[in-house]
C-alpha cells in the first residue's frame, strides 16, 4: 500500500514535539504541514526560514518527512484587497518550501461567493472567473518555478476549479513547470457519482485526468447530507474506499497518501479502514 502521512491540522493545538511523537506511534512517514500553524516553535515568526528548519528537524528526528506545505487560501476572494494580501502570504510560503525540505505546496482555488469560500455561486461558472483563476495560478506557478518548487492545486466541487476536466485543462494551458495537482477524488465526486454503480467510472476518470500530475494523494471521504457537500474523515462518508485503494495501488503506488480531517482519537480507526481497503484491493 502507499506510504502514509497526515495533515498537521489534524493535531491543531498540539506542540510540534507531541505531534511528532503521536505520528511516530501511528507509523506515519510523512506530514503535510501548514507553516501558519502554532506548534510552540518560534510561533512569533511563523514564516521565517529559521522556524521552518527547526520544525523540519523535529519531524526528521522522528523519521517523518515534510511531503508538502498546506498553503490553503481563497485564490478568488471577491475582496481584491484581502485576496492580494493572502496571495502575498502564499508567495512567502512558496519561498519556504526548500527550508522545509519539500518541493510542494498545496492550495484549493476558492470561490467568488461573497461571504463563504466553501460555497458555490453562479459567478464561479463564468469564463471570466476561469480566466481570472488561470491568471492568479500562473502568477503563483511562476513564483514556485523560480524557487524550484511546485504549486499543487486541489480541486473542489464548490470552487472555481470544480472538476477533473478543469484541472486537466489548467495543466494543458499553463504547463507543468512549477504546477501540479493533488490526487483527491473525494473533492470532485458529485452526488450522482456516489451511486454505487457510478463510483468506479467516476474515480477512474479522475485518475485518468489528473493522475500523471499528482505527486501527493489525500485520504478522506465524500458526503452529501443535510449540510450539503462535505468531505469528512475516512469512513464517515459515501465513497467506496475499495475502489480508491485499488486505483492507487495500480496507478500511483509510490505517491504518499495523507490522512485528512481526522481527529487524533479517530486516527487509528481511519488507518485501519485504509489498510483494509488496500488488503481488499490486493486480494482481487
Give CA–CA dist 90/183, Å, rounded: 21
Query: What pLDDT does 196 receive?
Result: 80
Q: pLDDT tier at 101 (50, 70, 90 boundaries)?
A: very high
Average pLDDT over residues 174-193: 97
pTM of the model: 0.97
Q: Which helix (H) or strand (E) holds 209?
A: helix 199-210
Q: Which helix (H) or strand (E) holds 128?
A: helix 127-146
Q: pLDDT tier at 234 (50, 70, 90 boundaries)?
A: very high
Query: What pLDDT does 284 receive?
Result: 62
Average pLDDT over residues 76-84: 98
In tens, the pLDDT along 108-153 reads 999 999 999 989 999 999 999 999 999 999 999 999 999 999 999 9
**Dihedral (Cα; 153, 223, 242, 25), 10-degree rounding:** 70
| Domain extent listing, the chain | 4-282
Evaluate whether 272 touches 17 at the Cβ level (below 8 Å).
no
Domain 4-282 sits in CATH at 3.20.20.150
Average pLDDT over residues 246-258: 98
Query: What pLDDT does 7 receive?
Result: 98
Grid coordinates in use for 118? 466553501
Q: Is the alpha carbon torsion for 250, 251, 256, 257 positive or negative? A: negative
Grid coordinates in use for 2? 502507499
**Dihedral (Cα; 114, 165, 128, 85), 10-degree rounding:** 50
Amino acid at each position: 500500500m502507499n506510504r502514509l502521512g497526515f495533515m498537521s491540522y489534524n493535531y491543531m493545538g498540539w506542540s510540534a514535539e507531541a505531534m511528532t511523537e503521536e505520528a511516530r506511534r501511528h507509523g506515519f512517514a510523512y506530514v503535510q504541514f501548514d507553516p501558519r500553524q502554532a506548534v510552540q516553535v518560534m510561533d512569533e515568526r511563523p514564516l521565517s526560514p529559521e522556524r521552518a528548519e527547526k520544525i523540519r528537524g523535529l519531524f526528521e528526528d522522528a523519521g517523518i518527512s515534510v511531503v508538502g506545505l498546506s498553503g490553503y487560501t481563497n485564490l478568488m476572494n471577491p475582496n481584491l484587497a484581502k485576496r492580494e494580501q493572502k496571495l502575498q502570504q502564499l508567495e512567502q510560503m512558496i519561498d519556504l518550501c526548500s527550508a522545509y525540505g519539500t518541493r510542494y505546496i498545496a492550495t484549493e482555488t476558492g470561490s467568488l461567493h461573497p461571504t463563504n469560500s466553501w460555497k458555490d455561486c453562479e459567478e464561479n461558472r463564468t469564463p471570466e472567473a476561469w480566466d481570472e483563476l488561470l491568471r492568479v495560478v500562473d502568477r503563483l506557478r511562476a513564483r514556485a518555478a523560480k524557487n524550484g518548487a511546485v504549486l499543487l492545486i486541489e480541486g473542489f466541487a464548490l470552487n472555481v476549479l470544480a472538476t477533473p476536466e478543469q484541472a486537466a485543462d489548467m495543466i494543458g494551458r499553463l504547463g507543468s513547470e512549477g504546477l501540479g495537482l493533488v490526487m483527491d477524488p473525494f473533492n470532485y465526486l458529485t452526488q450522482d457519482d456516489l451511486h454505487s454503480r457510478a463510483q468506479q467510472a467516476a474515480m477512474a476518470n479522475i485518475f485518468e485526468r489528473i493522475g500523471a500530475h499528482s505527486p501527493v494523494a489525500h485520504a478522506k471521504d465524500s458526503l452529501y447530507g443535510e449540510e450539503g457537500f462535505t468531505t469528512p474523515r475516512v469512513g464517515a462518508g459515501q465513497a467506496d474506499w475499495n475502489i480508491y485503494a485499488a486505483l492507487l495501488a495500480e496507478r500511483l503506488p509510490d505517491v504518499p497518501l495523507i490522512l485528512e480531517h481526522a481527529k487524533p482519537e479517530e486516527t487509528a480507526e481511519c488507518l485501519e479502514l485504509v489498510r483494509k481497503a488496500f488488503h481488499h484491493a490486493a486480494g482481487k
